[in-house]
Structure 1
């Protein structure tokens, strides 16, 4: 079994070396990263970091304020675009690439294909977004196949719902969004359509997804969610065509935005059809409701699901002192039987940066949580570009504001990331020693979990239950578990606190029996993370008094036992 480590990169910002950083700046002011900025050198460094996949976020054309009319790309309306650069999740043309990302706009598809080829040459697999639930309010495709119809073309706009309509309508009402139109521009939508976040109103609010329109998959949202799947709704066929179009570009997977807002029956229908032609394609679902996890895996056919509400929320709460590390055990138990399908992460484009004051205020505080996320099982791990450099997301970009996130709506550059890029050298020569040490820690850790057989293939044994009454083990600060495979053992201990700890961890006789090493009397090993901290103990001592260990603040130990 191979461990998957995904590197999510916001394509627009990754290669942008412009340091102007003007609030609410245009593309001319602040610049924009290009697909060509992912040079072979850049991809080699990402691969060297310890990754297997790269998720290029924001590839498919979405609504933006920049004028590309000279390239026969329709103008967008500012009142239905969030920020100057727009949301990557307000798709304007499912068959095209965001022109912002191209050096030669006329050859933007070719530049994407070359990006895929470069990624593959550096042994990185490619993931892009698929946004099935909603599209841009002003959807205008100039790249769709000539023999196909656009979304909404042929819809019966005089009814709220028709199973073959692509949209939901509010007959007799006109769209009235929360943003005032600029002089000379006025977006007209009549009848109004239902907004992407299921807002059934012609007047969505500023916190609604007012820049998007909800797609109709045959669910009558006006009549208790009645299902109309026979015959197969038109939207299903259109989406299959789009998935096949991008799969033919030799990509390796789709991260499916808000997958739970699309009926699971659609996924059950479409994923096998895509995999029939492209069996290597991986489907990753953004699903926030744990009650739907198993349904979207076993029936929906997804390979992996975000585990935001489970492991992410738990680890964040522990870092912030709101829960004890023992909460990890409960979170893990909930996933019984589907562990291998869960994608763990501590950052992505939706969440606040670890180093922001909204999360931890210090990137190092997440090191124990990273050890847990990456080493607890063989399931995939994801990190967000700049996480390895301690980016804090506290720039005041414009639309996004100072919210602890790296804006997906604004043209921007991230200084510490630009320091790592260093005019395309990707050598980190401009980084501080502290930042270099953080990145080196990530590189060391990610390569360990990527290559170690026990982490890639082994089983898990939680040690918290056997240390509940252990006075030499502080369960309010520490979390400990075993990974084992073919009589190889890893003892993993993490410290979530701000002080070093010296103690003892009990390993019950049941654990030695389960791992098949009950006859071995003595164990010794060293921490493969630091490559120096040693541990040794007789089995009987580990069972009765516990194995002695030392651990620094905000750190983890991965003891490889012999």
Structure 2
């Protein structure tokens, strides 16, 4: 038995208590319903609550710029006004009603915040052109990367920083619970280390998620960061370019570098991966279910991208209307519901310093079998994954691989016995708990 995820303490941001066992759900308002509105989305909130969703991350809901607009409707991330809602989605009152309904269901709501750039015809480009970086060769406001519909903000401008935080405070005053901060690594870290305490003056238990990796984001400003490198490794494993040993090494690296209280967001899809890299079924193939389960077992909090719960099989258009075809609930719906229930019920699966340590279980096929346990006291979760396309007869050796357990998917009782042969199907997996 090897401890993969030992913990070290560091003083960082204090997390909201509800964040420790949270299941996140990314909601793309444009594609979530046929209508693409707050009113239509609110009708789905009871279903999301039943699925086990605790936090809805709303992709940007703000008015979209028209200058150099991409596609027929434009990019959600080309924002004209930080203090208004996209009329495509409804009115501010519609948003407030959606927020109230979510609160009635016990679901938190965080907004996707885009601090790196605005649209090229944003309110600020007219009122405060000095708040932007300037491209002297083109004699115009600079454009980041190939995002030709956007204008790059200049973080050397203190007045811009202050207005950015003031706009975020406006949304906190509406009752939201926090922010997912787009491309957070593109702003100076000192901005975030200053901004979060400012926001906490309005909402002390604010939740902050950074689209970034790096220990520095956990020093003061953010509760959670993207586990991007972990995601890319899981794709490599599914495609036969890495194995179970690679995952164990990655976990040891993260445990050494990240503090105990750091919350990593685990995922198999999101709006970027779906639209630009393809669906999880293309990227993970036969391993799609196993990797979905793994995001609930690894330290951190899991993300569901809208449509994953019904195995939505296609890439969604990014700049045009392309509503999800929901169909009837299926085995993926059941899978996510059961995984979420276990996440909520079992303290060993809590995130950060409240969760159980992650131990590797020794086995006879270490290179392709990823076997781990997480436990607090006598409460134990055991997870077994076959990271190969062939049957595996395996022996496991661990003091906790004995006795009666509950099996996640079947709800049956299972008797585990150390040193006995155990069959795992190709890309097969089991989760046991007691």
Q: Of 444, 453, 458, which residue of structure 1 is paired with 2:347?
A: 453
Instruction: Report the Cα distance in structure 2 between the residues aligned to 1:499 and 1:441, rounded to whole angstroms.
Output: 23
Pair 1:555–1:46, CA change in 2 (3 A): farther
Bigger CA radius of gyration: 1
Give 1:500 deviation, angstroms: 4.1
Instruction: Report the Cα distance in structure 1 between the residues aligned to 2:141 and 2:210, rounded to whole angstroms.
Output: 26
Correspondence 1:45 to 2:47: yes
Instruction: Report the Cα distance in structure 2 between the residues aligned to 1:270 and 1:312, rounded to whole angstroms.
Output: 28
Correspondence 1:480 to 2:402: no
The residue that corresponds to 1:326 in the other structure is 245
SS of equivalent to 1:350:
helix
Correspondence 1:100 to 2:88: yes
The residue that corresponds to 1:36 in the other structure is 39
Q: Of 325, 336, 345, which residue of structure 2 is paired with 1:442?
A: 336
Give 1:233 deviation, angstroms: 1.2
Give 1:35 deviation, angstroms: 0.8
Name stretches of at least 5 consecutive residues in structure 2 with no aligned partner. Answer: 1-16
Cα-to-partner distance string for 1:431-460 (whole Å, 9 max, x where unaligned): xxxxx1222122112211122222224423
Give 1:356 deviation, angstroms: 4.5
Give 1:274 deviation, angstroms: 0.4
Instruction: Report the Cα distance in structure 2 between the residues aligned to 1:269 and 1:239, rounded to whole angstroms.
Output: 12
The question of whether the paired residues in 2 share the 8 Å contact of 1:463 and 1:506 is answered with no
Alignment of 1:122-521 (within 5 A): 122-140=105-123, 150-151=124-125, 153-155=127-129, 165-171=130-136, 174=138, 191-197=139-145, 208-218=146-156, 233-287=158-212, 290=213, 293-299=214-220, 301-308=221-228, 310-336=229-255, 337-338=258-259, 340-352=262-274, 353-357=278-282, 359-361=283-285, 365-377=287-299, 379-393=300-314, 405-415=315-325, 417=326, 419-420=327-328, 428=329, 436-456=330-350, 457-463=354-360, 466-467=362-363, 470=364, 474-507=365-398, 512=399
Instruction: Report the Cα distance in structure 1 between the residues aligned to 2:316 and 2:402, rounded to whole angstroms.
Output: 50
SS of equivalent to 1:323:
coil
Instruction: Report the Cα distance in structure 2 between the residues aligned to 1:354 and 1:477, rounded to whole angstroms.
Output: 24
Give 1:486 deviation, angstroms: 1.6
Q: Of 42, 50, 72, which residue of structure 2 is paired with 1:84?
A: 72
TM-score by length of 1: 0.69
Where is the helix percentage greater, Structure 1 or Structure 2?
2
Give 1:320 deviation, angstroms: 1.2
Instruction: Report the Cα distance in structure 1 between the residues aligned to 2:420 and 2:204, rounded to whole angstroms.
Output: 47
The question of whether the paired residues in 2 share the 8 Å contact of 1:354 and 1:361 is answered with no
The residue that corresponds to 1:146 in the other structure is none
The question of whether the paired residues in 2 share the 8 Å contact of 1:61 and 1:92 is answered with yes
The question of whether the paired residues in 2 share the 8 Å contact of 1:196 and 1:215 is answered with no
SS of equivalent to 1:90:
coil
Instruction: Report the Cα distance in structure 2 between the residues aligned to 1:495 and 1:137, rounded to whole angstroms.
Output: 49
Instruction: Report the Cα distance in structure 2 between the residues aligned to 1:270 and 1:99, rounded to whole angstroms.
Output: 29
Give 1:548 deviation, angstroms: 4.1
The question of whether the paired residues in 2 share the 8 Å contact of 1:329 and 1:462 is answered with no
The question of whether the paired residues in 2 share the 8 Å contact of 1:503 and 1:548 is answered with yes
SS of equivalent to 1:85:
coil
Pair 1:531–1:90, CA change in 2 (3 A): same
Instruction: Report the Cα distance in structure 1 between the residues aligned to 2:392 and 2:407, rounded to whole angstroms.
Output: 15
The residue that corresponds to 1:531 in the other structure is 411
Cα-to-partner distance string for 1:221-250 (whole Å, 9 max, x where unaligned): xxxxxxxxxxx7111111011110111110
Cα-to-partner distance string for 1:166-213 (whole Å, 9 max, x where unaligned): 011235x55xxxxxxxxxxxxxxxx4111123xxxxxxxxxx111111
Instruction: Report the Cα distance in structure 2 between the residues aligned to 1:209 and 1:134, rounded to whole angstroms.
Output: 10
The question of whether the paired residues in 1 share the 8 Å contact of 2:109 and 2:177 is answered with yes
Instruction: Report the Cα distance in structure 2 between the residues aligned to 1:360 and 1:344, rounded to whole angstroms.
Output: 15
SS of equivalent to 1:254:
strand
The question of whether the paired residues in 1 share the 8 Å contact of 2:281 and 2:288 is answered with no
**Relative contact order, CA 8 A, sep 6+: which one is greater?**
2
SS of equivalent to 1:82:
coil
Instruction: Report the Cα distance in structure 2 between the residues aligned to 1:387 and 1:98, rounded to whole angstroms.
Output: 25
